[in-house]
Structures are given as C-alpha cells and as structure tokens.
Amino acid sequence: MSACLPSVYPLIQAPMAGAQDHRMAAAVCRAGGLGSLPAAMWTATQLAGEIEALRALTDAPFNVNFFTHEMPPPDEAVKARWQHRLQDYYRHWGVTADSAPVPLRRPFAAEQLEVLQQYRPAVVSFHFGLPQAGLMRAVKDTGAQVLASATTVAEAQWLADHGADVVIAQGSEAGGHRATFLGSDMATQTGLFALLPQVADAVPVPVVATGGIADERGIRAALALGASAVQLGTAYLLCHESLIGGVHRTALSAAAGAVAAETAISNVFSGKPARGLVNTLMRDLGCLNEDVAPFPYAAAATAALRSAAEAQGDSSFTPLWSGQNPHGCRAISAYDLTRDLCGCFEG
C-alpha cells in the first residue's frame, strides 16, 4: 500500500466529470492506482449505480469526488445578458438559447452523503473547498479519507485546518476547472513547480501533486518537490475508457502530437475558470469574459450551439479540457497507462 493512499501505488486518476465513469476508475484500480468516480454531474441514484458497477469489476479501494461550489439563485437578467452575447451564434447555427438542456453541476448535499454512508468508499475528494461543517463531519464519520484541492498556499492551509486529511496542490497547468475557492484572481495562479514545495512546507498533512504531470519524469519531479502522491487527469483522456466526444478526441490527439499545444484558462464554458485547448468561443469572446452567467448556469446557453457544431465535426463551442502538457495522452487502456506510469514507483 502507498504511504498516504489506500491504493498499491501513490497515483490517483483524476476524477473528470463528463469525461469518464466506473470503467476508467476500475481499470486504474485494477492496475494498482486509485481510480476516481466523478460525481459532480450525477444524481445520487446515478452515483450509487456507478459505485455498484465499479464494485462488480474490482474490490480495490477507490475515490468518489464531488464539487462543493455555491449555487447562486438563478438571475434572469444575468442569463439574458449572457444569451444576448451569444445571439449572433444562435442565428448562424439556427438554434435557440435553451433548445438543448444540460445536466447542472450540483454541489455535494445530503442525498450524496447518504450514498457515501451506504457504500463507504475509502477515499472522498472535493473540488472548490469543503462541504459545510455538519456534512464534512458526517463524511469523515463514514471512515473515508478526505482529500481536497488547493490552488494557493492559503487554500491548502484552510483545507488542512478544516479537516482535509490530504491536500491536492493543483498547479495552474492543470486541465479542467481551477479548484479556487478563496479569491478569484486568475492572474495570480501558481504553477506546480512553485506551488508544491510551498504547500508541502505549509501544511501538516500529505500533499498530492496535480497539474501538467504527463509521464514518469513529472512524477519523479513531484515526489522530489515534496509530494506524497500524484494525480493525473489529461493523460487519461485518450484512453479507451475515456468518454470524451469525437471533436475533443481529435483536438487532443493533435495537441498530444504537436510541438506546443495552446491551452488557456477560460470561464466561457461553465462560468468558472477552467483550462482547455483554445478554440473559437474562447478566441472570439476572450478567455475570461465578464458577461458570462455564473457557474454552473453558463453551460446551458452554449449547449445547443455545441451540439449543432459538433454534429458537423466543429469544435468551436466544445470545452476541449486539457492541461498544459497533453504529451502524456495515449490511446491505450487506462490499465496499461497506469501500469506504465507506476513503473517508476518500483525502484
């Protein structure tokens, strides 16, 4: 067993809502890593089904991951402003703003806690802070080890002070959403090489490194800088078990083989800053746009555009989530990728 995780190796397959399910998690667990179930876009019933499906494939320990964002009350004026900003695209693609409903990302709540109490996963991780104190205590009472992501030293200290057993230091290289929950200034975000040793010095709990780690070199560097384990997301996105769609796969395959892939942090897809390959919507509106509706509401306004464009093989409105280093992406099974990566823990 690895020193800070219940898996054989100190490697976590990052939970990736919308991009994977129990099949990827099970493959990683069977290879000795810690597979993750990303619950942010699932109902409690769907989550229970995913846990049962995973348990049918492996009895290894696994991680269940939740978002802990606030849900601002829906605001019609803000929604109208965002839809107005997208008007020309609606006209061009012949769609209306709400013709393609999307599942709303929901924060961890009592229904999800009941699933944890029933199935008792070994590890539970949170993105965007921690649940409120009562829920957090109840999660810990299930016996789960609690992990949570920090993008600054201050966030890492806050998480450790509020009961996180392990802190995930998320460098600004990371694909997907920034876990930021104290402050919102993206200009001050730190790369993993600077963030990790400072977090390791600042908190009394083990630290997991994440963001831009693509191969054994990255894993060794993270361990040298004070990490007890690593978490990789983008590297798994071209694996057979990945659920990303055709346009995302094509763009990421090109980026994986390119000399330098162009990614940026943008709020235009969900309302919160997240890193992906630069595409038309990001270029046209600017990566951080002030008219965007708040998370998690913004995604609904681009959903119809996304399906219309994707039907023609066009990635203009698709969030092409990727970290800054897609060179580790390989079209192999998540089992084989995990075995290869974990070779570096063998001696």
Q: Judged by CB under 6 A, does residue 211 bind ligand FMN?
A: yes
Q: How far is the CB of 337 from ligand FMN (least distance, A)?
A: 12
Alpha-carbon radius of gyration of the chain: 19
Phi/psi-derived region of residue 199, left when phi > 0, alpha when psi is between -120 and 50, beta in every other case: alpha
Q: How far is the CB of 273 from ligand FMN (least distance, A)?
A: 12
Q: Which positions from 108 through 167 interact with ligand FMN, judged by CB under 6 A?
A: 127, 149
Q: Judged by CB under 6 A, does residue 106 bind ligand FMN?
A: no
* Dist CA 305 CA 293 (whole Å): 16
Which residue in 4, 5, 11, 14 binds ligand FMN (CB under 6 A)? 14
- AA identity, residue 247: V
Q: How far is the CB of 230 from ligand FMN (least distance, A)?
A: 9
Contact present, 34 and 6 (Cβ < 8 Å):
yes
Number of residues that bind ligand FMN (CB under 6 A): 26
Q: How far is the CB of 326 from ligand FMN (least distance, A)?
A: 8
* Dist CA 320 CA 102 (whole Å): 17
**Which region among 8-16, 138-146, 151-159, 289-297 touches ligand FMN (by CB under 6 A)?**
8-16
Most distant CA atoms of the chain, gap in Å: 59
Straight-line distance from the first to the last Cα atom of the chain, in angstroms, rounded to the nearest whole number:
15
Q: Judged by CB under 6 A, does residue 296 bind ligand FMN?
A: no
Nearest residue to 118 (alpha-carbon basis) of 142, 135, 96: 142
**Residue closer to ligand FMN (CB basis): 235 or 281:** 235
Q: Which positions from 256 through 295 interact with ligand FMN, judged by CB under 6 A?
A: none
Query: ω into residue 296 within 30 of 0, thus cis?
Result: yes
Q: Judged by CB under 6 A, does residue 25 bind ligand FMN?
A: no
**Residue closer to ligand FMN (CB basis): 95 or 232:** 232
* Dist CA 347 CA 341 (whole Å): 13
Q: How far is the CB of 15 from ligand FMN (least distance, A)?
A: 4
* Dist CA 154 CA 14 (whole Å): 22
Alpha carbons within 13 angstroms on the beta-carbon side of residue 146 total 24
Q: Judged by CB under 6 A, does residue 173 bind ligand FMN?
A: yes
**Which region among 22-30, 74-82, 225-233, 304-312 touches ligand FMN (by CB under 6 A)?**
225-233
- Which residues, 6+ apart, have CB-to-CB distance to 161 below 8 Å? none
Contact present, 266 and 48 (Cβ < 8 Å):
no
Which residue in 63, 302, 323, 345 binds ligand FMN (CB under 6 A)? 323
Q: Judged by CB under 6 A, does residue 32 bind ligand FMN?
A: no
Q: How far is the CB of 276 from ligand FMN (least distance, A)?
A: 8
**Residue closer to ligand FMN (CB basis): 211 or 296:** 211
Q: Judged by CB under 6 A, does residue 207 bind ligand FMN?
A: no
**Residue closer to ligand FMN (CB basis): 79 or 178:** 178
**Residue closer to ligand FMN (CB basis): 83 or 125:** 125
Angle at 53 between CA 49 and CA 59, to 5 degrees: 125
* Dist CA 59 CA 54 (whole Å): 8
Q: How many CB atoms lie within 10 A of CB 279?
A: 23
**Residue closer to ligand FMN (CB basis): 252 or 285:** 252
Q: How far is the CB of 156 from ligand FMN (least distance, A)?
A: 14
**Residue closer to ligand FMN (CB basis): 80 or 154:** 154
Alpha carbons within 13 angstroms on the beta-carbon side of residue 7 total 28
Contacts with ligand FMN, residue ranges (CB under 6 A): 14-17, 19, 38, 40, 65, 127, 149, 170, 173-176, 210-213, 231-235, 321, 323
